[in-house]
C-alpha cells in the first residue's frame, strides 16, 4: 500500500509515539559519532500570493555514522525537502543541521543522473574536479563499481543498463567521490522487485565493507525496513517518530489499518 493514501492525521485518531529517549535526549555536538543531526529544522516557501507556506516544521533527528536509515511518510510529508536541505540544495528557514562531508545525493529517476555514455566515464565524471591522476581515477572508479556489484559493466554503454543498474552506477559515482553520507531519494520507485532488492543490497553491502559510510534512504516500501538499522517517519512536515525499524513499521501498519477501518465503517 502506498502511504500517499494516509495523508490526513485528522481523519482518525491514534496516539503519536514519542521519539525514543535515547535519541531525544541527545543534543547537537555532544554525540560525536553522528553522521546527520537536525535540531528544530523548519523550511517555508513563499506562495504566488506572497504568503509563507510551511513545508518542514520543527524537525529534529540524529543518525549515527555507518548505518543505513530509512525515511518514510505519506506523499507530500516533506521527505524530499528534508533530503535536499541535508544535501545542501535548499537552505532551512530556521534550525540547525550538520551532515558529514562529502555527501552525495541520488535522485529517484536514474535517467536524470547518469549522464555519460559508458559506465566507467559516468562514474569518473564527478572526479574531474579533484585534480587526480589517471591511475587514481581508474582505481577509484573500479573500487566504487566493485562495491555496488557493477565492476563487470565498466565498459558498458549506460543506455543498455536496467533502472536498478543505473541506480547502482549513480551510487558508485558518490562512492568514487568518497562520500561519507549517501542521501538516496526513493531509488526503488521505478524498479521491478529484482532490481529493487539488488539496489538495496548493494547499498547494504557497501556500508558493511566501508568505514563509516552512512545512508539515508527515502522509501514508501515498508518491506525495505528490514534492511535498516533505524528509521524516521514524517507526516505533514514533521518528524513523528525516529528510532528502531520494527517499532516504526508497527506504528505505520497501525495507521494504515485504522485508515482502512475508517473507510469501510
Ligand X SMILES: Nc1ncnc2c1ncn2[C@@H]1O[C@H](COP(=O)(O)OP(=O)(O)OP(=O)(O)O)[C@@H](O)[C@H]1O
What is the CA 114 to chain-centroid distance, rounded?
18
| Residue 171 vs residues 144, 186, 244, 265: alpha-carbon distances, Å | 8, 13, 25, 45
Q: Could you tell me the smallest distance in angstroms from the CB atom of residue 10 to Mg ion?
A: 22
Per-residue x/- mask for ligand X, residues 23 to 62, rule CB under 6 A?
Answer: ----------------------x-------x-x-------
Query: Please, which of residues 32-91 interact with Mg ion by CB under 5 A?
Result: 79-80
* Residue 249 touches which of ligand X, Mg ion, none (Cβ within 5-8 Å per kind): none
Burial status of residue 102 (CB atoms within 10 A of its CB: 0-12, 13-18, 19 or more): exposed
Q: Could you tell me the smallest distance in angstroms from the CB atom of residue 45 to ligand X?
A: 4
Query: Please, which of residues 55-114 interact with ligand X by CB under 6 A?
Result: 55, 73, 75-81
The partner residues of 184 in beta bridges, in order of sequence, read: 106, 217
Q: 152 or 223, CB closer to ligand X?
A: 223
* Residue 77 touches which of Mg ion, ligand X, none (Cβ within 5-8 Å per kind): ligand X
* Residue 45 touches which of Mg ion, ligand X, none (Cβ within 5-8 Å per kind): ligand X
Q: 34 or 83, CB closer to Mg ion?
A: 83
Q: 34 or 196, CB closer to Mg ion?
A: 196
* Residue 66 touches which of Mg ion, ligand X, none (Cβ within 5-8 Å per kind): none
Written as one string, the DSSP assignment of 93-125 is SEEEEEE-SSEEEE-S-GGGT--SSBHHHHHHH
> How many residues of this chain interact with ligand X, rule: CB under 6 A?
11
* Residue 165 touches which of Mg ion, ligand X, none (Cβ within 5-8 Å per kind): none
Q: 56 or 147, CB closer to ligand X?
A: 56
Counting DSSP H helices and E strands in the chain, the numbers are 7, 9
Q: Could you tell me the smallest distance in angstroms from the CB atom of residue 228 to ligand X?
A: 17
C-beta separation of 29 from 12 below 8 A: no
Q: 74 or 163, CB closer to Mg ion?
A: 74
| Residue 10 vs residues 15, 75, 76, 91, 177: alpha-carbon distances, Å | 12, 16, 16, 30, 44
* Residue 78 touches which of Mg ion, ligand X, none (Cβ within 5-8 Å per kind): ligand X
Q: 55 or 150, CB closer to ligand X?
A: 55
The partner residues of 182 in beta bridges, in order of sequence, read: 104, 215
C-beta separation of 239 from 232 below 8 A: yes
Please state, in angstroms and rounded to a whole number, the distance separating the CA atoms of residues 205 and 189: 20
Q: Could you tell me the smallest distance in angstroms from the CB atom of residue 52 to ligand X?
A: 11
Please state, in angstroms and rounded to a whole number, the distance separating the CA atoms of residues 222 and 71: 10
Please state, in angstroms and rounded to a whole number, the distance separating the CA atoms of residues 108 and 85: 16
Q: 16 or 208, CB closer to ligand X?
A: 16
Kindly list the residues in this chain that would bind ligand X in the complex (CB under 6 A): 45, 53, 55, 73, 75-81
Kindly list the residues in this chain that would bind Mg ion in the complex (CB under 5 A): 79-80
Amino acid at each position: 500500500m502506498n502511504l500517499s493514501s494516509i495523508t490526513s492525521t485528522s481523519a482518525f485518531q491514534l496516539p503519536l509515539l514519542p521519539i525514543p529517549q535515547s535519541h531525544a535526549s541527545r543534543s547537537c555536538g555532544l554525540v560525536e559519532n553522528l553522521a546527520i543531526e537536525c535540531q528544530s529544522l523548519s523550511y517555508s516557501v513563499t506562495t504566488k500570493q506572497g504568503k509563507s507556506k510551511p513545508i518542514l516544521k520543527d524537525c529534529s533527528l540524529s543518525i549515527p555514522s555507518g548505518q543505513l536509515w530509512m525515511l518514510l511518510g505519506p506523499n507530500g510529508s516533506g521527505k524530499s525537502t528534508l533530503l535536499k536541505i541535508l544535501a545542501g540544495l535548499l537552505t532551512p528557514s530556521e534550525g540547525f543541521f550538520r551532515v558529514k562531508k562529502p555527501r552525495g545525493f541520488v535522485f529517484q529517476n536514474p535517467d536524470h543522473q547518469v549522464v555519460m555514455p559508458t559506465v566507467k566515464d559516468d562514474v569518473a565524471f564527478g572526479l574531474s574536479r579533484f585534480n587526480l591522476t589517471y591511475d587514481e581515477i581508474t582505481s577509484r572508479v573500479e573500487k566504487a563499481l566493485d562495491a555496488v556489484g557493477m565492476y563487470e559493466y565498466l565498459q558498458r554503454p549506460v543506455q543498455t543498463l536496467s533502472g536498478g543498474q543505473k541506480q547502482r552506477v549513480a551510487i558508485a559515482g558518490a562512492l568514487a567521490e568518497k562520500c561519507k553520507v549517501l542521501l538516496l531519494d526513493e531509488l526503488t520507485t521505478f524498479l521491478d522487485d529484482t532490481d529493487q532488492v539488488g539496489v538495496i543490497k548493494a547499498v547494504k553491502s557497501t556500508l558493511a565493507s566501508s568505514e563509516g559510510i552512512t545512508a539515508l534512504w527515502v522509501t514508501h516500501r515498508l518491506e525495505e525496513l528490514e534492511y535498516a538499522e533505524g528509521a524516521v517517519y514524517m507526516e505533514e512536515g514533521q518528524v513523528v517518530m525516529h528510532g528502531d525499524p520494527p517499532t516504526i513499521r508497527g506504528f505505520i501498519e497501525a495507521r494504515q489499518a485504522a485508515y482502512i477501518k475508517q473507510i469501510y465503517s
